[in-house]
Structure 1
Amino acid sequence: MPAADRTRLPKGGNSRAVHRRSLSRQLHPGAWWLWSLGLAAAATRTTNPLLLLLILAVAGYVVAARRGDAPWSRSYAAFLRLGLLVLAVRMVFAVLLGSPVGGTHVLFTLPQLPLPAWAQGVRLGGSVTLEGLLFALYEGLRLAVLLACVGAANALASPSRLLRSLPGALYEVGVAAVVAMTFAPNLVADVRRLRAARRLRGRSDRGVRAVLSVGLPVLEGALERSVALAAAMDTRGFGRTAEVPRRLARTAGALTLCGLLGVCCATYGLLTAGSHPWALPVLLAGAGAAGAGLVLGGRRSVRTRYRPDPWALPEWLTAGSGVLVAAALIRYAARWPEALDPPVVPPSLPALPLLPALAVLVGLLPAFVTPEPPRSTR
């Protein structure tokens, strides 16, 4: 048999590896964002630190299981550090400026500065209570978990693929949105590259001096790469529109605007404390109006799609798990408010409610039902 006609077959475990690579694909970025927003909405409904840490663990496990090796996939650690910074700042403000929650368990007392009469209600220094610190800890932890959920979406969903999947009515803002969406991943990639370059030159990559010397090149490089990508997308037809009747354009714009306003108002009603029976009907009506506006506005798009991302069973399961976690926590927050928002006066150890914890664990489903992301061969 001639050498050119011979086919080299994989041996042993290599055949299984080739088969796994053939089945791997990137999940639709919209599914990852719906999943992460569901976890974030669940985090807004509770201040129980055990539930918040469980949501954080679920997001971290899914990121570790389904993160690729692209530069933007390494941004999750940066969001975790940002969350820790937010938590630390919240605790410092509670110590220096006091807390709206009064308490009787005084831990220590700082020198208090006198303020003028027009600043009544604000204090600098004074007594620091255990109840005030617990309240600040719970609130800061909730905000840190929200940042972690957003970081999980940034680490799992490709920004360019998400932008390519936008409806046709939103292509006009797509060129501008790509700058904002790719800035943070490019920033993280540039930080890693410049720190590695400093270590290779024998310089320290830690300390204030290293941060100041790296900060300006990092910001400039990340912004230039984002703008270059936006310019490349503009040359390939992003944002190009066709001529449509003015009446149709105005109708599409009005439907989209009214629908988005209705969705925002209904989301606020669902996420705030208390029962709002109007929130769900307004949410459905707003989503329908926004969808109709996007469909009508999509007629202005003249750009075709090459190999659009599929929306199959893994995408439905991923998005559905996030929506299910959010719906369960919203329902349980109305039924058992003390379990999801443990009181800090008097201070007590929070308990882990069983049913909300099981609902949060549903968010682990994408780690097992989604395909493995393709790995680059080196």
Structure 2
Amino acid sequence: MLAIAALAALGWQMHRLLSPPHVSAPTAETWDQAVRDHQEFVRNSSGLSRDDLVAEWQRQAKTLSAALVVAPEPAAQDIRHRLLGLYGSLGDWSSARQLNETMLMKAEGDEKAKLQYNLACLDDTISKEAGADEGAEQRFETSAAVAAKALDASATPALKESALHLAMMGAERLAKRGGYAEAADQYRKAARIVATVADSDRTASPVWEPGYVAITATTCFLPQEATPQWHEFAIALRDARSAKNTYSSALTLKHRRGGMTDAEFTPLAEEAITKYADPDAWELRYDLATVYRLGGDPRTDATHLFELTKTDFPKSSTDPVVASRRSLLPMVYDDLAGCLARLGEKNQAIEWYTRVATDFPDSQQAKYAHDAIARYTR
């Protein structure tokens, strides 16, 4: 069956390549052929190169635009949706926006709310490409406000998801401008939307996972001046305790980006490691150990580093997280050996330097380890 499908796709692509470049405009009798041609293209386009795809998107857009002139309703509305997708693929945001506004004139209810959301997304993209264009920014603000009102009036779960995205889109833009309090309001709205949707109505989309809004919010509130807002959503994330959206990772990122001082980070990190089970606490503990080492506390540093050595990270694992943590082990062993040496525990220090040299012979730390072993065994 797979071979037959592949041959069918190849046959369709050869037909495209051998077809004359100029296609006559559809007539009232042939507009439906343009739709069928597009359906066939969607089914069989996976093997095309990027250049061939762009050329075919352009041809399809031209053909469907001509078909739209003669197609009756509701087929015309179906063609408009197809064109909207093609314009998006081509990055022709201006044509997509114009078509979206035309579709809005004929839409009602949930369909209209969906198109209002599409318009806000288009204006978001256009304004980002326009840079500091105040007119483009104002168009987004206007279309987003209209879309939010339309989406708020709908009880459809899919549109609730759109409302959630719209609120978070607005929050991100506000945060980038330094409007952290206003951004927090939008994230709170997003969290309320999540709470109104029943579990049975939630799709497989990651937006419904516990802590999704909170982890996104904490990422927006990384600067030092946004720490009050970060704390609010970090606590929500901590309480969600989702395996995919973790408090520890948010805390680590905030500290690494310079949004939190060592003095602020230390008690929160200690609390997180002690009270909240978290699969990402390994990186958090590593950062905490570094803070203690730089702060002149080798004993507490060694305590945390020793905990890090208890986890096994096999070479055979294909998990990128395991590989990343394993790559840090030479530094963990070397740092632990150094701490023990400063504490006067030379025999234990030699033991960990030996492990560096034995377990990671090609690492930079292994070279230092050989020198340290020679120095301490004289």
Report if TM-score (shorter chain) is over 0.5: no
Using CA pairs under 8 Å that are at least 6 residues apart, name the structure with larger relative contact order, 1 or 2: 1
Q: TM-score, normalised by structure 1?
A: 0.20
